[in-house]
A = this chain, B = another copy of it.
C-alpha cells in the first residue's frame, strides 16, 4: 500500500511500551502491514472517491483515506486468519504469522487487527461506512465458509458455477464492490447500483487470475508458493473444469491425493497433477473466462462513470481496474 496509508495504519496500532510481551504483540500487529501488500483495493477506493469528486486535501478525501486504511487493515487481519485456516507456509515471501508465533497468538493478533480496522472506520466519519463494512465482511465470511467447508468435507462434487458463487461472496465484495461504493460514500455520492454487477464480474476475473498465477505464475513476482492451492486442496475453476474431462486414471489419482491432508500429500504426484493441469486446456479456458468477465465488468463501469464528477480521475480508476483484472502478480 502507498506510504501515506501505511503510516495511517501504523498510527492506529499500539506501541506496546507497557511490558515486553505487549511489545511483541505490537510487533505482530505491524508485521503483515509492513510486508508491503500491493494495496490494490485501497487504490481502487481512493480512485473511486476522486472520480466521485472528492479532491485530495479536502475533508471528504481525508475520510476516504481512513476508509482505505480500514480496507488495508481488513485485508491484513483476514490474511492472518486465512493463512491459519489454509495452513499456508508463506505470505508475501516470508513465513506466515502462525508459523512464526504459533496458532493461538496469531488468531488473537488477527482479532486485534480486526478491531483496529473498526477504529479506522470510525475515524473516517463517513456516513454509511459501517453498514457497508458489515455487509462486505458478512459476504466474505460466507464465501470463506463455502471454500473451507469443501476442503473440510473433501467435497469435489462441484461445478464451475459453485466456484463462481463462492468467489463472488469471498472475493468480489471486498475487492471491487465495496471499494467502489465506499469511495462514492466518502465523496458524499450515492453509489451506482451497477457497481454490484460490475464488481461481481471483475472480482471473479480477479480471483480466476489469482488461481492461474498460483499454478503458472512467476514465483519471484507472485509472493506465495506456486502450486500452493493444490497442496491446500483449493477448489478452482481450473481444477473443477479439468475434473469434468480428465482421464479416469488421472481423476482417480487426483482424488486420492485430495483425500489426504496437506502434509500427507505426495509431492511428486502433486507435481504430476500440476503438469496435467498445465497441459490440459483448462488453464487457458479459465483465463478466457476471466478475460470475458473482466471485459463485461469494465464495460459496465465505463458506462457508470461516463458522467463522473472528475472525468480524469474516472479514467485513472478504470486503469486501476484493468490492472487488477489482468495482473501478473
Residues of A within 8 A of B (CB): 14, 19, 21-22, 24-25, 81, 84-86, 101-105, 107-112, 114-115, 118-119, 122, 130-131, 134, 137-138, 141-142, 144-146, 148-152, 165
Q: A14-B142, A103-B103 are in contact. List 5 more A-B contacts (CB 8 A).
A: A14-B138, A22-B146, A104-B151, A105-B149, A105-B152
Q: Cβ of B114 and Cβ of A111 under 8 Å apart? A: yes
Interface contact A108-B24, CB-CB below 8 Å: no
Q: Copy number in this complex?
A: 2
Interface residues of A, dominant DSSP? helix
Instruction: Check A104–B21 contact: CB distance below 8 A.
Output: no
Which of A110, A111, A112 has the most chain B CB atoms inside 10 A of its CB? A111
A29 to chain B, nearest CB (A): 9
Q: Is the CB of B108 within 8 A of A85?
A: yes
Which B residues are in CB contact (< 8 Å) with A25? 142, 145, 149
Chain B positions within 8 Å of A150 at CB level: 21
CB proximity of A172 to chain B, nearest CB, Å: 15
Q: Are B146 and A111 in contact (CB-based, < 8 A)?
A: no
List 13 A-B pairs, Cβ < 8 Å.
A14-B142, A21-B146, A22-B142, A24-B149, A85-B104, A105-B145, A105-B149, A105-B152, A111-B114, A112-B138, A115-B138, A118-B134, A122-B134
